[in-house]
A and B are shown apart, each in its own frame.
Chain A
């Protein structure tokens, strides 16, 4: 009797184990059959990771009515902040995570991942698709996303950096910002207009190489500093964080924020500064050109009150960065046809025309800086009159190949160094710099720590 019971319980146990194993097998089986069914270019669904900036939220909102309705392809968005998106896409694309069919990346990632064979070359698909008009894409933006002539990501919007300021506020203080200002002029103006109610300037202070790191590195470049020196063959040589030029740049940046910067600076990046500027809490803002479309949007409280000037300089002629948020297909995606259909729609000329009347910000808030034809749409020309010109000339002026006073290691880049180690070094160092901005550590200790990090990466 006892043995019988034991036997039965053993049988039950085996049955459970068997069921679990079968469940696993079943799951795998159904997955593979569904991917086979979605081999065609219609229907199905794709997973897309994008960054949480306003223009991307707009397209996510419009996708069901403008894309899914036409093609039957469902788009599952994962919308993340910049830092998290980078972790996710790097894990997915570079380490073969297979989570996404389309990932949003930029000029830092696209050539690196493309060269290492992790991304699908989009050039053949873009060339054979006449509606896509590949030649319409603004050349510096396309080049930034290419390696050896192959385009690895299609630009959703393109940007440089420039200075935005409240004309009304500065006029009242009797300050005139020149079209090509220097950092000394901007800092003096910011300190002059700074009041407890309205800060002089909003500068990024949030840790992250693409946040504080981007703004700061353009300042560093034009102050004559650099992260690493380069060997003659273009590889990384020695860390340059403990040099006087680097120190001057950080000191200048942190002092300006202490004296005339925004509140909560150590937590502020693009979106936080955008909110503060729109709320009238800052008088000037040095950031991405793409912000101008949101400041001049029909739902903006500061519409028509703004002036735009080139990125401030010190020792170089131009200091603006070059960036584009672009869509790429990881090689691991099993739905590359569907993914391309989506990218062709999202970054193609048709979306720009359709979105103008449908998004809350109106024509001015279109994703800018990717296609020449955008700047020929009559409604856009009218809505973006204040900033369309400055945006295009800032993109053209961005010193992508020669951003500073010395030779840079790695692939071209202004606000970043085009080597894989920069992501980690930039993140760790900007945490140190952010602590300086918060008033928690000294410039010296931050620079010493950062020099250690940068040296480790180059050894």
Chain B
């Protein structure tokens, strides 16, 4: 991707160059001062990744300390037969899809409300954004102890007042408990994106539709939703990239276990979380990186399309 951007820039610059093209040595002399920066960037961003790839091809136990053995692709072949990894992938899928869709729906709803003018709109907007500003660990603790707890949680207090029996949500339904917490935290993010989309909607088109006698629902469905589609795509993709890596909420709320160990937590358990098998853990994380890169590539395409669209408008 970087390379592609580089050539694009180069081709833009071409007409501005000196009439006679500089000799190769001069070109290198000009690039030379930039090389240290390039080198540092490569060292900082790519070397750890390459090391991980190498580790993923070894059998490396830290406890008990043993020599690192090269085992080829064994860790990868083991990966697909490991049903714990498969269930971690399934949890990851649930913990990504449910919160992204939930937060998007709620975020769109709040954005539509905030798009209207009313007294105290700024204040309400700040309140609605607050969940996104909290540290994930704090969010996890708040929801685990103050909301979901069956002895002193707020939700169970209400349940009891209504005559129901308290439920230990986190222990009984860990996936949903974490998903709900994620929705709470990520709704403001989606709301901000959708609000930006709504406010970029041309007012004259809406007015024209009204003049032509369109119903509010018709306007929303035919105009607003169509206009919001690229923003929704962006929200879904960015949300997916962030939520696929959720680790802190799992660690704080359940500490892993069936139904809450997602892939990042699984990698943690295999490595420094007690497994101490750095070779296998590296293999797992490489697989996650590959998936994330695929999603990121798609999302960057969407982002660039969105920006191009705005430039055209």
* Mask: chain B, 47-66; 1 = CB below 8 Å from A; 0 = not: 00000000000000011110
Contacts A112-B64, A263-B151, A420-B64 given; does A431 touch B257 at CB 8 Å? yes
Distance in angstroms between the alpha carbons of A449 and B269 in the assembled complex:
16
Chain B interface main SS type = loop
Closest to A205 in B: B171
Contacts A263-B151, A424-B275, A440-B171 given; does A431 touch B37 at CB 8 Å? no
Which residues, 422 to 459 on A, are CB-close (under 8 Å) to B? 423-424, 427-428, 431-432, 434-435, 437-441, 449, 452-453
Chain-B contact segment, one of A90-98, A119-127, A218-226, A379-387? A90-98
Residues of B within 8 A of A265 (CB): 171
Task: Output the residue of A10, A263, A264 with the most chain B CB within 10 A.
Answer: A264
Q: Is B122 an interface residue (CB 8 A)?
A: no
Which of B37, B255, B269, B272 is within 8 Å of A13, CB to CB?
Answer: B37
Contacts A263-B150, A264-B150 given; does A90 touch B171 at CB 8 Å? no
18 contacts between A and B (CB under 8 A): A10-B33, A13-B33, A14-B33, A14-B36, A83-B255, A94-B63, A94-B276, A116-B65, A263-B150, A264-B149, A264-B171, A267-B170, A428-B269, A431-B258, A432-B257, A435-B257, A435-B259, A440-B172
Flag if A440 contacts B259 (CB, 8 Å): yes
Flag if B64 contacts A431 (CB, 8 Å): no
Distance in angstroms between the alpha carbons of A314 and B281 in the assembled complex:
41
Contacts A112-B64, A266-B168, A439-B172 given; does A434 touch B257 at CB 8 Å? yes
Residues of B within 8 A of A207 (CB): 255-257
Q: Is A6 an interface residue (CB 8 A)?
A: yes
In the assembled complex, the CB of A339 is this many whole angstroms from the nearest CB of chain B, namely 22
Which residues, 15 to 54 on B, are CB-close (under 8 Å) to A? 30, 33-34, 36-37, 40
Distance in angstroms between the alpha carbons of A397 and B62 in the assembled complex:
35
Flag if B40 contacts A431 (CB, 8 Å): no
Q: Is B273 an interface residue (CB 8 A)?
A: yes
Which of A6, A91, A427, A432 is within 8 Å of B30, CB to CB?
Answer: A6
Distance in angstroms between the alpha carbons of A267 and B168 in the assembled complex:
10
Residues of B within 8 A of A424 (CB): 269, 274-276
Closest to A426 in B: B274
Q: How many residues of A contact B (CB 8 A)?
A: 40
Distance in angstroms between the alpha carbons of A357 and B63 in the assembled complex:
42
In the assembled complex, the CB of A268 is this many whole angstroms from the nearest CB of chain B, namely 10
Distance in angstroms between the alpha carbons of A434 and B171 in the assembled complex:
9
Across chains A and B, which 6 residue pairs bring their CB atoms closest together, nearest first?
Answer: A10-B33, A438-B171, A431-B257, A266-B171, A420-B64, A424-B274
Which of B36, B40, B274 is within 8 Å of A427, CB to CB?
Answer: B274
Q: How many residues of B contact A (CB 8 A)?
A: 32
* Mask: chain A, 177-211; 1 = CB below 8 Å from B; 0 = not: 00000000000000000000000000000111000
Closest to A423 in B: B274
Q: Is B14 an interface residue (CB 8 A)?
A: no
In the assembled complex, the CB of A274 is this many whole angstroms from the nearest CB of chain B, namely 15
Q: Is B108 an interface residue (CB 8 A)?
A: no
Flag if A17 contacts B36 (CB, 8 Å): yes
Task: Output the residue of A423, A424, A432 with the most chain B CB within 10 A.
Answer: A424
Seen from chain A, the residues whose Cβ lies within 8 Å of a Cβ on chain B are: 6, 10-11, 13-14, 17, 83, 86-87, 90-91, 94-95, 112, 116, 206-208, 263-267, 420, 423-424, 427-428, 431-432, 434-435, 437-441, 449, 452-453
Q: Is B13 an interface residue (CB 8 A)?
A: no
Which residues, 165 to 206 on B, are CB-close (under 8 Å) to A? 168, 170-172, 174
Q: Is B308 an interface residue (CB 8 A)?
A: no
Which residues, 63 to 83 on B, are CB-close (under 8 Å) to A? 63-65, 83
In the assembled complex, the CB of A216 is this many whole angstroms from the nearest CB of chain B, namely 15
Which of A14, A95, A264 is within 8 Å of B168, CB to CB?
Answer: A264
Q: A87-B272, A266-B168 are in contact. List 11 more A-B contacts (CB 8 A).
A: A13-B33, A17-B40, A90-B63, A264-B171, A267-B168, A267-B170, A420-B63, A420-B64, A435-B257, A439-B172, A452-B83
